Structure 1
Amino acid sequence: MNKPDLVEPRNFNIVSEIEKYAKDESKVAIIFEDDAGEETKVTYADLIRKSNRMGNLFKQHGLKKGDTLLIKMERSIETYEVYIAALKLGVSLIPASEMLRTKDLQYRITHGEVDAVLSIASGADEFEGVNEYDDLTKFIIGGQKDGWVDVDKDVQNQSDELEIVDTDRDDVAFLPYTSGTTGNPKAVVHTHGWGYAHMQMAPKHWLNIHEDDIVWATAAPGWQKWVWSPFLSTMTSGATAFVYNGRFDGTKYLELLQDYQINVLCCTPTEYRIMAKLQNLDHFDLSHLHDAVSAGEPLNQEVVEKFQNTFNITVRDGYGQTESTLLIGLLKDVPGRPGSMGKAIPGSDVLIVDDEGQPVEPGIVGNIAVPVDLPALFKGYFKDPERTQERVAGDYFLTGDRAKVDEDGYFWFEGRADDIIISSGYTIGPFEVEDSLTKHPAVKETAVVASPHELRGNIVKAFVILQDSYEESDELVRELQNFVKYDVAPYKYPRAIEFVEELPKTNSGKIRRVELREAEIEKYNHEHE
Structure 2
Amino acid sequence: MELTELIAPQKYNLTNEIDRFDSDRVALFWENENGDKRSFTYHELIEKGKRFANVLNNLGIKKGDVVMTIVPRIVDAYVIYLGALRAGIAVIPGSEMLRPGDISYRINQGKAKAIITFHDYTEQVDHIEENMPSLQHKISVAGETDGWLSMDQIMSEASNSYTTVDTDKDDMAFLTYTSGTSGAPKGVVHTHAWAYAHLRIAPQRWLDIQEGDIFWATAAPGWQKWIWSPFLSVLGKGVTGLAYDGRFRPEKQLQLLQDYKVNVLCCTPTEYRLMSKVDHLEKFDLSNLRNACSAGEALNRGVIDIFKQTFDIQLKDGYGQTESTLLVGTLVGHAIRIGSMGQPILDEFITIIDEDGNEVPDGVVGNIAVRRDFPALFKTYYEQPDRYQAAVIGNYFLTGDRASHDQDNYFWFQGRRDDVIISSGYTIGPAEVEDALLKHESVKDCAVVASPDPIRGNIVKAFVILKDGYAPDESRIPELQKFVKNQTAPYKYPRAIEFVSDLPKTVSGKIMRAKLRELEKRRASERHS
Any idea what the Cα deviations from partners look like across 1:252-272, whole Å, max 9, x if unmatched? 000000011001100011100
Give distance in 2, aligned partners of 1:4 and 1:483.
51
Correspondences of 1:286-325 after superposition (within 5 Å): 286-325=286-325
Give distance in 1, aligned partners of 2:46 and 2:334.
37
CA contact (8 A) 1:348 1:374 kept: no
Aligned to 1:399: 399
2:208 paired with 1:228: no
Correspondences of 1:62-211 after superposition (within 5 Å): 62-128=60-126, 129=128, 130-132=130-132, 135-211=135-211
Aligned with 1:83: secondary structure?
helix
2:484 paired with 1:484: yes
Aligned with 2:360: secondary structure?
coil
CA contact (8 A) 1:80 1:231 kept: yes
Any idea what the Cα deviations from partners look like across 1:333-377, whole Å, max 9, x if unmatched? 111111110001137720011111111112111110011111111
AA matched with 1:459: I
Give distance in 2, aligned partners of 1:243 and 1:499.
42
AA matched with 1:119: T
Any idea what the Cα deviations from partners look like across 1:57-111, whole Å, max 9, x if unmatched? 1111111100000001100111001000000000000000001010001111111
Correspondences of 1:403-442 after superposition (within 5 Å): 403-442=403-442
Give distance in 2, aligned partners of 1:440 and 1:8.
50
Q: Indicate how the Cα distance of structure 1 residues 134 and 515 shifts in structure 2: closer, same or farther if over 3 A, else same.
A: closer
2:258 paired with 1:258: yes
Q: 1:136 Cα deviation (Å)?
A: 2.1
Give distance in 2, aligned partners of 1:323 and 1:18.
23
Any idea what the Cα deviations from partners look like across 1:368-402, whole Å, max 9, x if unmatched? 00111111111110111111000110111111111
Give distance in 2, aligned partners of 1:280 and 1:252.
14
AA matched with 1:99: M
Q: 1:491 Cα deviation (Å)?
A: 0.5
AA matched with 2:475: E
Aligned to 1:460: 460
Any idea what the Cα deviations from partners look like across 1:483-520, whole Å, max 9, x if unmatched? 00011111010000000111111122111100100111
Give distance in 1, aligned partners of 2:510 and 2:347.
39
Q: 1:211 Cα deviation (Å)?
A: 2.4
Give distance in 1, aligned partners of 2:518 and 2:132.
43
Any idea what the Cα deviations from partners look like across 1:257-310, whole Å, max 9, x if unmatched? 001100110001110000001121111000000000000000101101110111
AA matched with 2:125: F
Aligned with 1:175: secondary structure?
strand
Any idea what the Cα deviations from partners look like across 1:12-48, whole Å, max 9, x if unmatched? 11111111101x3x20000000111111001001111
Q: How many residues align?
A: 527
Q: 1:153 Cα deviation (Å)?
A: 1.6
What runs of 5+ residues in structure 2 fail to find an aligned partner? none
Q: 1:133 Cα deviation (Å)?
A: 7.4
CA contact (8 A) 1:201 1:347 kept: no
Aligned to 2:354: 354
Q: 1:3 Cα deviation (Å)?
A: 7.4
TM-score, with structure 1 as normaliser:
0.98
Aligned to 1:42: 40
Q: Indicate how the Cα distance of structure 1 residues 279 and 418 shifts in structure 2: closer, same or farther if over 3 A, else same.
A: same
AA matched with 2:323: E
Give distance in 2, aligned partners of 1:351 and 1:135.
42
AA matched with 2:345: I
What runs of 5+ residues in structure 1 fail to find an aligned partner? none
Q: 1:134 Cα deviation (Å)?
A: 9.2
Q: 1:325 Cα deviation (Å)?
A: 0.7
CA contact (8 A) 2:329 2:345 kept: yes
AA matched with 2:366: G
Aligned with 1:225: secondary structure?
helix
Q: 1:2 Cα deviation (Å)?
A: 7.5
Aligned to 1:29: 27
Aligned with 1:474: secondary structure?
coil
Q: 1:526 Cα deviation (Å)?
A: 1.7
Aligned with 2:435: secondary structure?
helix
Q: Indicate how the Cα distance of structure 1 residues 527 and 103 shifts in structure 2: closer, same or farther if over 3 A, else same.
A: same
Give distance in 2, aligned partners of 1:166 and 1:59.
15
Aligned to 1:51: 49
Give distance in 2, aligned partners of 1:55 and 1:140.
16
Q: 1:4 Cα deviation (Å)?
A: 7.8
Give distance in 1, aligned partners of 2:332 and 2:474.
48
AA matched with 2:77: T
Q: 1:142 Cα deviation (Å)?
A: 1.9
Q: CA RMSD in A?
A: 1.3
Give distance in 2, aligned partners of 1:96 and 1:365.
35
Aligned to 1:504: 504
Query: What is the aligned-residue identity percentage?
Result: 52
Give distance in 1, aligned partners of 2:339 and 2:392.
28
Question: 341-350 or 447-456: which moved more?
Answer: 341-350
Give distance in 2, aligned partners of 1:349 and 1:186.
23
Q: 1:332 Cα deviation (Å)?
A: 2.5
Give distance in 2, aligned partners of 1:348 and 1:470.
57
Give distance in 2, aligned partners of 1:346 and 1:231.
23
Aligned with 2:446: secondary structure?
strand
Aligned to 2:377: 377
AA matched with 1:49: E
Q: Indicate how the Cα distance of structure 1 residues 348 and 117 shifts in structure 2: closer, same or farther if over 3 A, else same.
A: farther
**Hey, which bits of structure 1, 4+ residues long, moved more than 3 A?**
1-4
Aligned with 1:159: secondary structure?
coil
Give distance in 2, aligned partners of 1:64 and 1:3.
32
Give distance in 2, aligned partners of 1:116 and 1:347.
41
Aligned with 1:244: secondary structure?
strand
Q: Indicate how the Cα distance of structure 1 residues 4 and 293 shifts in structure 2: closer, same or farther if over 3 A, else same.
A: farther
CA contact (8 A) 2:99 2:489 kept: yes
Aligned to 1:365: 365
CA contact (8 A) 1:358 1:394 kept: no
AA matched with 1:516: L
Give distance in 2, aligned partners of 1:291 and 1:528.
32
CA contact (8 A) 1:4 1:201 kept: no
Any idea what the Cα deviations from partners look like across 1:392-426, whole Å, max 9, x if unmatched? 10111111111111111100111100000011111
Q: Indicate how the Cα distance of structure 1 residues 242 and 11 shifts in structure 2: closer, same or farther if over 3 A, else same.
A: same
Give distance in 2, aligned partners of 1:239 and 1:450.
38
AA matched with 2:402: R
Aligned to 2:447: 447
CA contact (8 A) 1:139 1:151 kept: yes
CA contact (8 A) 2:459 2:496 kept: yes
Give distance in 2, aligned partners of 1:293 and 1:422.
18
Any idea what the Cα deviations from partners look like across 1:141-197, whole Å, max 9, x if unmatched? 122223321111221121112111000110000000000100000000100001111
Give distance in 2, aligned partners of 1:295 and 1:462.
26
TM-score, with structure 2 as normaliser:
0.98
CA contact (8 A) 1:352 1:359 kept: yes
Give distance in 2, aligned partners of 1:140 and 1:204.
37
Aligned with 1:266: secondary structure?
strand
Give distance in 2, aligned partners of 1:496 and 1:5.
48
Aligned with 2:5: secondary structure?
coil
